[in-house]
Amino acid sequence: MKLATAAQMREIDKLAIEQYHLPGVVLMENAGAAVAREVERLLGGIKDKKICVFAGLGNNGGDGFVAARYFANGGAKVKVFLIGEKARITGDAQIHADVLSRMGVDVMEITGDRDWDKVRIAVTFSDCLIDALVGTGFHGEMSEPLALIVDIINRSGKRVVAVDVPSGVNADNGQVQGSAVKAHLTVTFGLPKPGLLLYPGASQAGEVILDGIGLPLPLLATAPVQQMTITAGYVKQLLPKRRADSHKGLNGHVGVIAGSHGYTGAAVLCASGALRAGSGLVSLAVANSLRSIMEAKMTEVMTRTLPELASGAIGLKSIPFVEELSNYWDVIALGPGMGRQNETQAAIREIVRNAEKPLVIDADGIVALAGHMDVIHQADAMAILTPHPGEMAQLTGLSAMQVNQDRIGIARRTANQWGSIIVLKGAPTIVAFPDGEVFVNTSGNASMATGGTGDVLTGVIAALIAQGLSSHDAAVAGVYLHGLAGDIAAQAGAVGLIAGDLLQALPAAIAGLQS
């Protein structure tokens, strides 16, 4: 499903009005009616319920006026508090405010101390509060009196429904500067907004309900929007279909270059992830001294030894051996646990520079590229980089906090700059492509925030490429499949999940999508 920024959604609304002659006042009517329906569902009926609507002067407030009318018509006891002067309401919102006034529903301006007393009393005795303050157009930090209203709403202990986006949340990136409404339910319109999926905005939104508000489907389908969510239905179409007469040679061969002393687990998890995601063959190339460890840990993975440094990591002498081995591989998974010795990092860059097969690069493989991103352009195939925010910070010179503040924007810019597919891990994981296309993952959970899960992801994506998927489709499907395995594993308990649990859940995740 597409995700629309605030500006993109405004453009869609504009086209609906201009090209389809669908009046804005009708779209506002549909939006307010959708909010009223969801509130009625939430409360189990609205007759005799006490509902407070907090409305701003713009279109978000107009949606609130419509909802208030439906509440009143349904027998609820409605109070509407306006943040500003009635005389400043214009356009479609004014039409709906006038209807409320003609019905005898009082729209009370908040201007003085006594008004705030009325607000607090009304909130105390309310069953539900409606946030129709500022909506998608808001950027920056809440100022007074909005900040005070938000504080009263959040401290109320009442059920809160936000209109389109919780006030104070940036609709485009989910950021909150200062305060924002904490909703139990958000009713959003037309297309979902990125800020409802990105944190901290996602934690403010509660349950998100999408209502099309009557926007023409051809308009939504053709809207030039490059953000998408990754859904089960989308991934189901991508997953490779296994033939009834299949054999291991038809299901691809993943080559994994990973591991060093103290980090053998990363190599094991990556290689095992490739097997569990369906690769017919997996070879693990490691420093010679690690071979016996790997063979004790894994039965089904073939080990290949490489010349090593005294530290137990590979060095530049490994390059000819890697080039020979890669002739037999369909894809190379590179980096987990390889170490950060200078020569090892130099060897990683040479492997990338000389690679003639698709690459999935993670962990120490990514660190080796910091300050050397020109190397990535020399590989024959487009590489997939899978950084977490800390690794992305090393590549870009930003802080991890700055990365998380603009996850979509940074993933998109770096994918374009480096000509690579970026899998920016986190909550949620973002997949970005050089042409500007971005996918936001919808699977996965906080239980997966444990060491080794990223190594599994690298193996999963590599396995899908080995089975014939393009790097584009493998990145998208692999991210969702990995998260789904985490969701399945977490059913046994949210605390204590380990990366190995994802390995066990991967076959069930694949089967569930293919059924």
- Pair 161, 236 in one domain: no
- Pair 294, 189 in one domain: no
Task: Supply the pLDDT for residue 113.
Answer: 80
Spatial separation of the C-alpha atoms in residues 108 and 218, rounded to whole Å:
40
Spatial separation of the C-alpha atoms in residues 442 and 231, rounded to whole Å:
7
Domain, as residue range, for 30: 6-225
- Pair 193, 326 in one domain: no
- Domain with residue 135: its CATH number is 3.40.50.10260
Q: List the chain residues with pLDDT less than 70.
A: none
Q: Is 22 part of any domain?
A: yes
Spatial separation of the C-alpha atoms in residues 349 and 322, rounded to whole Å:
13
- Pair 379, 509 in one domain: yes
Q: Is 412 part of any domain?
A: yes
Q: Is 217 part of any domain?
A: yes
What does each C-alpha distance from 161 to 37, 130, 184, 185 come to in angstroms? 11, 5, 6, 5
Residue type for position 386: T
Task: Supply the pLDDT for residue 193.
Answer: 98
Task: Supply the pLDDT for residue 8.
Answer: 97
- Pair 216, 254 in one domain: no
List binding-site positions for K(+).
60, 131, 167
- Pair 218, 237 in one domain: no
What does each C-alpha distance from 454 to 141, 171, 244 come to in angstroms? 35, 28, 32
List binding-site positions.
59-63, 131, 135-141, 164, 167, 266, 337, 388, 425-429, 454-455
Task: Supply the pLDDT for residue 493.
Answer: 86
Q: Is 130 part of any domain?
A: yes
Sign of CA dihedral 438, 440, 446, 452: negative
List binding-site positions for AMP.
425-429, 454
Indicate the Cα dihedral angle 58, 59, 63, 66, nearest 10°: 80
Q: What are the tens digits of pLDDT across the range 44-90?
A: 999 999 999 999 999 999 999 999 999 999 999 999 999 989 999 99
- Pair 87, 103 in one domain: yes
- Domain with residue 290: its CATH number is 3.40.1190.20
What does each C-alpha distance from 92 to 34, 60, 95, 107, 190 come to in angstroms? 17, 11, 5, 16, 18
- Pair 261, 194 in one domain: no
- Pair 181, 284 in one domain: no
The number of domains in the chain is 2
List binding-site positions for (6S)-NADPHX.
59-63, 135-141, 164, 266, 337, 388, 455
User: Which of 177, 203, 225 is a domain's end point?
Assistant: 225
Q: Is 1 part of any domain?
A: no
User: Which of 180, 200, 225 is a domain's end point?
Assistant: 225
- Pair 404, 508 in one domain: yes
Across the chain, what does the average pLDDT equal? 96
- Pair 287, 402 in one domain: yes
The residue length of the chain stands at 515
Task: Supply the pLDDT for residue 140.
Answer: 84
Task: Supply the pLDDT for residue 494.
Answer: 82
Task: Supply the pLDDT for residue 53.
Answer: 98
- Pair 236, 98 in one domain: no
Task: Supply the pLDDT for residue 11.
Answer: 97
